A and B are shown apart, each in its own frame.
Chain A
């Protein structure tokens, strides 16, 4: 069984091959790691201002484009002060 099974219906962070970070609830996946993310947000990092959250809604992300899927601890995540976190945006995956 894939290790992703235990992430179902939990909040996950997806780092995509183009360097974006999506947060949302994992609703499903398949053998190619295409995933369903419900209530998806994108977090845009910047060095000059806080993290910007963009609400996107329901997404299917193709497995080809996924680099990392991480489990998010909701209690820790809700304590983050996103407006005051600065960071360089990730670059895309280089092949």
Chain B
């Protein structure tokens, strides 16, 4: 289970956040992001020594300033339903990807053929050397579409 998916599940729950400077913030989690930045509602801030308090209707806390978050125990049981199902699906997708290796090889063969033909088409547009080679190729091989030759000279 990922810490940030637990945090996401804890949205709308009360929590205690201790910052690196020792201040603590008690409030309800409104939102969080992948940097652990969080929005709290109905917040009580407590000073490091614990003897001064501030009430505020909401606040934003930058993730990098957080030391830890204390979350209601029941939240961990709620993660299992959504986030863990997702990670299980992802694991199974990876399994399928690895499992059909023979099929993958079959798929790869035509793709490499495409890459070659693409290489011929796109290669000359690269550098002067490629252009030179292409011009020689054009004069030598009658089967090249004239359109492409024109494109290249421009």
Q: Could you list which residues of chain A lie within 8 angstroms of chain B, going by C-beta atoms?
A: 16, 18, 27-30, 34-36, 38, 56-62, 64-65
Contact = CB atoms under 8 A, between A and B. Distances in A.
Interface string B59-78: 00001101111111101100
- Chain B interface residue number, banded: 20 to 34
Contact of A28 (B2, B20, B64): B2
B1 interface: yes
B4 interface: yes
Given A28-B3, A30-B3, A59-B69, 16 more contacts: A27-B1, A27-B76, A28-B2, A28-B6, A30-B2, A34-B36, A35-B3, A36-B3, A56-B70, A58-B72, A59-B71, A60-B6, A60-B71, A62-B36, A64-B20, A64-B67
Contacts of A30: 2-4
Given A36-B76, A65-B20, A60 B1 contact: no
B134 interface: no
Contacts of B69: 59-60
Interface of B: 1-4, 6-7, 20, 36, 63-64, 66-73, 75-76
Chain B facing A: main interface SS: mixed
Chain A facing B: main interface SS: strand
Contacts of A59: 68-71
A65 B76 CA distance: 22
Given A34-B36, A38-B76, A60 B3 contact: yes
Given A28-B3, A60-B7, A65 B68 contact: yes
Contacts of A18: 67
A34 B3 contact: yes
A28 B1 contact: yes
Given A16-B67, A64-B20, A65-B67, A58 B73 contact: yes
Contact of A34 (B4, B71, B72, B75): B4
